[in-house]
Structure 1
Amino acid sequence: MEDKNKKEHFMGIPIEKHDTAAWANIEDTKPVSNVSVPAKSETRNAKDWVDANQK
């Protein structure tokens, strides 16, 4: 019974922080699909991060 209470307690704590994600700074949304489009600077930062962290 005690294990269930521990699980419920930790389920509310987020694992990841999405404040710096590319989609955090939404510039626009597509009209039909409602897909968010990030700002150009956020897209560029995400690409630079991927290029720098390649194997």
Structure 2
Amino acid sequence: MIRKSKKYYKEPIEKHETASWANIKENASKAKVPIPNEIEVINAKEWVDENEK
């Protein structure tokens, strides 16, 4: 049986304030999916392009 760790981390591992969904422009009507504003999409693409392996 695999034991699950019950550690509680006070600091988040990721910074969610910099995520592309942090500044939501609107929600898609049927799927209720957040759509980020254009600036956040550009920032996310630049991050991906810079961090390619």
Provide TM-score, normalisation by structure 1.
0.72
Q: Equivalent residue for 2:48?
A: 50
Q: Which runs of 5+ in 1 are unaligned?
A: 1-6
Offset at residue 45 of structure 1 (A): 0.5
- Hey, which of these two has a bigger chunk of helix by percent? 1
Aligned residues: 47
Partner AA of 1:48 in structure 2: E
Q: Which runs of 5+ in 2 are unaligned?
A: 1-5
Provide TM-score, normalisation by structure 2.
0.74
What is the rounded CA distance, in whole Å, between the counterparts of 1:48 and 1:16 in structure 2? 18
